Structures are given as C-alpha cells and as structure tokens.
Structure 1
Amino acid sequence: MTLSNYLHRLTQFKTMEELWHAHVNQMGRYGFDRLIYGYTLFKTATSLGDPDDFVILSNHSPEYLNGFLAEGLYADAPMLDWALTNEGFASWRRAHDMARAGQLDPKTQAVYDFNQRMGVKAGYTISFNSATQRFKGAIALTARRDLTQDAVDEIWEAHGQDILLMNNVAHLKILTLPYHAPNRGLTKRQREVLQWVGDGKTTQDIAILMGLTPATIEKHLRLARESLCVETTAQAVLKAALHNQMYAVVT
C-alpha cells in the first residue's frame, strides 16, 4: 500500500478499533510488530494525571502491559522521560547507551531490565506536538525480536520520515474518535443528557425535551458522573467532551 493510500484510509476510519488494527498492520510492514500509544489531557508539572484517564492503545501481551502499565513501571521508563520533555522522534539507542554508561538510576534501570526480559529491546519513540501544557501524547514502536537496534536504525534511515508522517496522522485522527475507557463508557441516555447540559438546559428542560421525569434525568446524570469518576456534572461534561464521548445521538 502506498503512503498516500494509507493516509487516505486513516482519514476514513469511524472507530478507534478499525484505525488501531490497520495501524498495527501497517507498522508491522516496517518491522515494528508491537506498539503502545497513549495520551493524556490532564498532565501537570509533576504528574501525567490519573492513569485511569489515559487513552491507551496497544497490542503488547497482557503480561507486558500488566507490568509496564498496571504496576506503574511506565513512570520511570527512560524513553517516556525523553518524550515528556521533547517532541519528534528518538532511537532507543539512547536508552541503551545510558544503560551501558551506568547513567540510569535504580528505578529506571529496573524498567530497562524488565523491557530486556520481555523482548522489548529495539525500537523508536515518537513524541507528538503538544498544543497545551496539559496534553502529552506519544507512541513507542517496538521492533521484532530478531531485529537489533542497528537494523532498526537502518530501517528508520530509509523510511523514518514516512513512518513519522503516518504516526502523526494516526494520532490526529485518534484525537477525533470516541474513546471508551474500561468501565467508563457512557450509555446513549447518559451522553444525551450531558449534551443537553452542555447546551445550557436545566434538569426540568431536559426532562421535557426527552419525555422523562426530572428524577430520571438526575439518575442519568448521577450514573454518568460515576462512570466518568468525577464529582460534578460540569466535570462530567468536560471529560466526556475531551474523550469525544458526548455527541448528538441520532435516533
């Protein structure tokens, strides 16, 4: 598939699942068979925010994701540290060189050793441009186990600009698609009431518009707040909008 054909396909996807499946296959053509993509809209000067609010896509094994994400190793990953303060792309040779020179602190060394044991040895990290200080997005492209970093660097020398372009377009498309975090998806009714709230309607207004009782509207709002793990309806509207979960429901 030509570059232009693939970019055209990327712009046409309607769901996150379709896009991710195609992108994993496309990156596999260049030797990157395991990917982990993520972004947060809640970054601060000292934190990436609540991990439950991260948008994460990956085809790594459950065992790897459990260690890297669930157990929090990502917080000390050397290439993530690079991504937080840089934009563009970087070879994982950087991490290898630091490890050989003894420049990794104990926590970072533990993450490096974990990656080596799990066959996550060679690859590239892309850190996407951030429009605000609250946003950070990146993707780690892990090469096949039979490829060395030298081989991967040669692949990047030949195709790096195309790979970078494809990932940037995929990232921009992902930002437009609804993302339903585990246990945080909204029902059709919850999305609809939040949309009306966002339009400035009162509970009584929404009840009339939807043909329901005010008590039922309050129930949908309460469940929406619980699903999104927020305290106020205003926060629910904001979070649903940021994850593209709040939109006009056509019936």
Structure 2
Amino acid sequence: MLYSAFPGYITFLELTKNSANKWTLYKLDTFVNPEFKPLLIWKKFHWIFLIFVQGLILCLLRFEKAIKIKNLNQVKLELETASNLMIGAGAVMKLAGSYSRKEYQEQILPTMKPPNLKIKGFSGLMSWDHAYLVTLWKQNKKNFQNLPLSLQPQYEKLLLAYKIMASSHRNICSKFGGGEVGGSVKHPTKNALLALEKIVKARWQMINPSHKSVHECMEMMNDPRELIQTGFKNHLQLLLRTFNLEL
C-alpha cells in the first residue's frame, strides 16, 4: 500500500497543478489540468480511487479488531478515517469525469469494450478490492448496528460520507449517459443508472442495518482537491498506525 499511496499522491498533484506548482481553476467545471488527455485522467483518478478503497479496507479491518477488544477510542478513530477516505473517494470520482461526454464516448468508452478488451460486460464490480470491501461491509453489519451512543456522531458522518461517495458515482454515471438505455457497459441493453442505484441501496443496507436516518448529502461544495488531500493525509496516518510508526 505504501508503494501505491505515495506515487498516487504525486500523480494527483501532477493532474491538478500547473507548471508553477499551484492549484488553478482551469475551467468553470474542472479542477484538472486540461493538458492531460481524458483517457489518462480517467485511468489515473480511478487508480487513486482504488488506493482509497484499499485504505478503507485496512481501516475496516482495524475497526473490526478494535470492536472485538472494546477499544472505543480506536473505533472512533477508524470511523473518522473511513469517513474521510470515502469523502475523498467521492471527490476523486468527481475529478475523474473532467471532460465532455463526447470525449468520454470517443476516447474512453471504446477501451472498456472488445476488441480493446477480451471480455464483454466490463465493470468495476470485477475488482477484487471492491469484492473484499463488500465482504467487510457484511462482516461488520452487527458492529455498525450495535455501536454505543458515544460513537453515533462518528457513525453518522460515516453514513453521510457513503452518501457523498455514492452521489459522486451517480453524477458521473449520469453525465456520460448512464441514465439512458444502452448506457451500461456491463449490460448494453439496460439503464446503468438504475443498476447503480440498486447497488447503492444494497451497500447502504449493509452499513446502515438499523435504517438510521441521516441528512441527505448536498452537492459537494468544497474544492474536491482539498477533500482528496485530506483523504491522502488520513491514508498516511492509517498506514503509520498500522505499522506502528510515527512521523
């Protein structure tokens, strides 16, 4: 994870900073340097997204262990870290779509279909990291349900963070035609947005088994780059805790 996190952070800086090494709002709808081609932006930001997913996996493993030994301070810390990683992942997904629908259809979509891929029905669901994350959601269902009152603020932030991440995924899917019949790469005759909504609801039930109500998330108002920075900071702190290191 160390070997992926540090190059991932450097890549993030390269994608979002100009030659003067300063953040710039290049267009009204993007924070990404337009010198980079859409396919590279798509690939690199999805790589960063998976780095955050891997951090989330590690975080949930530590959360589960802390629950077993009744270390509530550690549980609190892992909940907070998981929240920031998911919010960061949502911001990454937002920047992954920093180009037009036409560019997506012409330069990116073909790379996810034959003959550029040997298989049909490509999907992010094929990721091993995603599969393991879902397994951990399921394993911790009772832990989420039985969290003490003292940890409810952190738990509510976790739920809100999931909604933010899911909302970002829906937005990028919609932007590139996922809400239309034929917009799904995995199922070309189906509506990708409806399929995604089913997945989002299923995951929501795993982390919110008590059907706790939380405020609906609003459109991400913060600079997404700052949220990603926070995600990387939490990722680093998580790794330092895991390996018993200190800065």
- The TM tier, using the shorter chain, reads under 0.3
Highest Rg: 1 or 2?
Answer: 1
Q: TM-score, normalised by structure 2?
A: 0.24
TM value normalised by structure 1: 0.23
Instruction: Name the structure where strand makes up a greater proportion of residues.
Output: 1
Q: Which has the higher contact order (CA 8 A, sep 6+)?
A: 2
